[in-house]
Chain A
Amino acid sequence: MNEFDDNEIAMLLRLKRHEQPPPGYFENFLHEFHRRQRDELLRQPLWRICLERARDFVFRLNVSSLTSYPAAVAAVLICAAVISLKIYQGPETTVAVQSQPALSATANAEGQWTLSSPVATRVFSTQPLRNLSESAQTHSRGRGTPPRYVLDSVPVSYEATFKF
C-alpha cells in the first residue's frame, strides 16, 4: 500500500478551496464591517473623535507641504528683522539706559534743563522730599525694634545746580 505522494497531498489540499462560507456571507461582509466600525466609533471618547477628524482634515489638505514654503520665508524674515534690530538699536539702547536717570530727572524738574552731570541734574525744590512724621513712620515701625538709620535719597552735601 503506497503512501500519499506529494502530488496527491497537493491535490487533496487544493480541494479545500471548495470549502465555502454560507451563501451571502461575502455580500454581507461589507455591511458587517461598516456596522462594526460605527460601533467602534461610538465607543470612543468625544475628544478622540474630534482629534481624528482634525487629523483627517489636515492630512486631506496636506497642510504641512502647503505651509512649508511660507513658513520658511516667514522664519527668514523674522530672523532678519530681529538681527537688524539688534544691529541698529544696540548702541542707542545702551545710551538710553545710561541717560535715563538724567531724562527722568529733568522731566521732574519743572521743565528746566541743566548742564550738570547726570547724577546732579536734578533741580532741588524747596519742598522737602519727606516730612519728619512720614520719616518717623517709615523708619520706626515698632517700639520694640531698634531704630534704623537710612541715608536719604539725596545727600545733603550735594550743592544745588546752577540754573539758567
Chain B
Amino acid sequence: MDKPRSDEDQQLVARTQSGDPGAFDQLVVKYTPRLYGLVYNMTSNHEDTNDLLQDVFSKAYKAIRGFRGKSSFYTWVHSIAVNMTLNFLKKRGRRFQLSLDDVDASIQNDKEFLELTATSSPVREADLSELQRRLNEAMMKLSDEHRAVVTMFHIQGMPHAEISKILRVSEGTVRSRLFYANRQLQNYLDEFRKNPVA
C-alpha cells in the first residue's frame, strides 16, 4: 500500500483547522480503508473494528486543532488508531470471538496466492475459509504489540521507519518484534502444515 501524499493531507488538515468540516470528511474517506485494515487485523472482529474506527476519527477530529504538523497526518492518525486499539485489546483481554470478514473473490487471481497454492501443500489442500481461520488464530496468539507490528509490516506494507514513528519505539525494537513474531507464527503454522484439514 502506498503512503498517501502528505502535502494534500496538509491542505485538508489546514482547512479542517480553519473550520471546514468537509475537509475532514475527505480525510475520513481517504483513510478509512487503510485504518480499517490496521484495526481489523489487530482485533479480528468486524464489529469491534467498526466501533473503534468511529472512535478513532472522532478523537482525531477533536484533537486536530492541536495537530501542529510535526509528523504527517498519516503517522498521526495511525498512532491514534494503534494506541486506541491496544488500549481496547487490554480491556477486552482474552474474551472475544472471531468475527471475520469475507475473503474477497479477487484472492483467486492474486499472484502470491497462486504461488502459494502451487508450492505449499497445506495451502493447496485447505479451503480458503480454513486457511483464513488458521491464520487469524495464529495472529491472535501473538501479543498485542507483536500483532501490531506484524499487521503494519506484513499486511499494510509499512517500512520499519514508519512503524517506529507510529509506535514511538526504535527501529531496532520494531525489527526484533518482527523477528520474534515470525518465529512464533512459524511454530503456530507448523501445526497447520502437519495437519492441514484438522
Contacts and interface: CB of A to CB of B under 8 A. Distances in A.
Interface of A: 1, 3-6, 8-22, 25-26, 29-30, 32-33, 36-37, 40, 56, 59-60
B194 A17 contact: no
28 contacts: A1-B193, A3-B186, A3-B193, A9-B154, A12-B189, A13-B154, A13-B155, A14-B155, A15-B103, A15-B107, A16-B135, A17-B155, A18-B104, A19-B41, A19-B100, A19-B102, A19-B132, A20-B101, A21-B36, A21-B40, A22-B102, A25-B50, A30-B25, A32-B50, A32-B54, A33-B57, A56-B19, A59-B17
B115 A11 contact: yes
Nearest to B107: A18
B3 to A, nearest CB: 16
A31 to B, nearest CB: 10
A12 B19 contact: no
Contact of A20 (B41, B104, B186): B104
* 5 interchain residue pairs of minimum CB distance: A13-B154, A18-B107, A18-B104, A19-B101, A11-B112
B34 to A, nearest CB: 11
A9 B193 CA distance: 12
A11 B117 CA distance: 11
Contacts of A56: 19
B193 A11 contact: no
Interface residues of B, number: 51
Contacts of A18: 103-104, 106-107, 110, 113
Nearest to B113: A15
B58 A1 contact: no
Contacts of B100: 19
B28 A29 contact: yes
B57 A13 contact: no
A8 B193 CA distance: 12
A29 B102 CA distance: 18
A17 B183 CA distance: 21
B58 A19 contact: no
A29 B53 contact: yes
A109 B186 CA distance: 112
Interface string B15-43: 00111000001001100110011001100
Contacts of B32: 26, 29-30
Given A18-B104, A21-B36, 7 more contacts: A3-B193, A4-B186, A4-B190, A13-B185, A18-B107, A25-B50, A60-B18
Given A26-B33, A30-B29, A10 B154 contact: yes
B79 to A, nearest CB: 19
A15 B138 CA distance: 14
B46 interface: yes
Interface in B154-191: 154-155, 157, 182, 185-186, 189-190
